[in-house]
Structure 1
Amino acid sequence: MATHDLYQRPGFLLRRAHQISASIFERACTDLALTPAQYGVLRVMQDHPGIDQSSLARALAFDKVTVLRVIKGLEDRGFCQRAVSPDNRRQMAVRLTPEGAELLRQAQKPVRQAYETLLSPFDDAQREQFLGLLLLLNTQLNTEARASFVPMASGSDPA
């Protein structure tokens, strides 16, 4: 296989698109020192206060080690807190602190900016088609993933 062929493969293009997406997000949120993974964790905690760590991992398709690492970093910065779940003493429940809620409020504009920058190469119809195709790919091949994904209903507008 020629290198050019490699560059046309879906896996390569998806990985590169993820790199670009993460870079755009991190640049937009640099003043907040916020990563895409941290933002996702905070958003789920905001919509589901007291969620257990396992459910949080599934809601973002993270493995348990990754979600624990992200939570620990946010907890160290004072943006969330963990406590034994009142429903199951073997699980830890997580929730935003007021500082975490303020961080999310401050992140609204840069997150929206990152979203717009990422989709800026597309016109409105292309955006809809692109997002629809990504959703179709993720839905149809979900069972192929290493980490479980169990989407949760959201009480907030997507950013």
Structure 2
Amino acid sequence: MAFYTKAAFGPDCSLGYLARRIHQIGQSLIEPVFAAEGMSGTQWSALMSMLAGRSSTCADLARDLSHDKGATTRLVDAMEQQGWVTRSRAIDDRRVLNLELTPDGEAAAIRCRDRIITYWNVLLTDWDRDEIEKLIELMQKLRTTLDDALTEGLRP
């Protein structure tokens, strides 16, 4: 049986709306952390993707951030100018651009991460550990469902 119905559908129960609003509000709250480092939230996401080992090439980074190649190139240009990343051509395939965090890039990403951890812990003070863990579990499950739909080309 389907969960959503025409009669009982609106912003307060729409997964898309709720995810977007949570992201918008969260970004606006933590933006000062990035501004203090002279970076944007997108740049921090890119640095963290690299730090976590999710992205070692421009193509990996584009996929992880859901950016097109042009936007990713501009993003990497800006991070390279800041001295946070270096890029080099792969020896075996000159089309591939390898990315590497510089010590300054790693340090900036870690400083932001640590401030964000502290801030999230303040925001979640009234939440039980089980609630947080369950929310993360459900969000991971939804991400997997959406990733699978994307991979399978399941579109409306």
Report TM bin, short chain: 0.7 to 0.9
Give distance in 1, aligned partners of 2:14 and 2:53. 38
Spell out, residue by residue over 1:62-121, the C-alpha distance to the aligned partner (whole angstroms, 9 max, x if none).
Answer: 433333232122112121122212231111111122321221243242121243255455
Spell out, residue by residue over 1:111-139, the C-alpha distance to the aligned partner (whole angstroms, 9 max, x if none).
Answer: 21243255455321110111111001011
Aligned length: 145
With the length of structure 2 as denominator, give the TM-score of the two structures. 0.75
AA paired with 2:33? A
**1:1-159 paired onto structure 2 within 5 Å:** 5-48=10-53, 51-117=56-122, 119-120=124-125, 122-145=127-150
Inter-CA distance 46–132: structure 2 relative to 1 (3 Å threshold): closer
Q: Which is further off, 25-34 or 92-101? A: 25-34
Give distance in 2, aligned partners of 1:65 and 1:114. 33
Give distance in 1, aligned partners of 2:55 and 2:12. 43
Residue segments in structure 1 that go unaligned for 5+ positions in a row: 147-159
With the length of structure 1 as denominator, give the TM-score of the two structures. 0.73
Larger Rg: 2
Contact 1:50 1:95 in 2 (8 A): no
Q: Which is further off, 84-93 or 4-13? A: 4-13
Identity, % of aligned positions: 26
Task: Pick 1 or 2: higher relative contact order, CA cutoff 8 A, min separation 6.
Answer: 1
Give RMSD over aligned pairs.
Answer: 2.9
AA paired with 2:143? N
Contact 1:79 1:99 in 2 (8 A): yes
Contact 1:85 1:91 in 2 (8 A): yes
Q: Which is further off, 27-36 or 124-133? A: 27-36
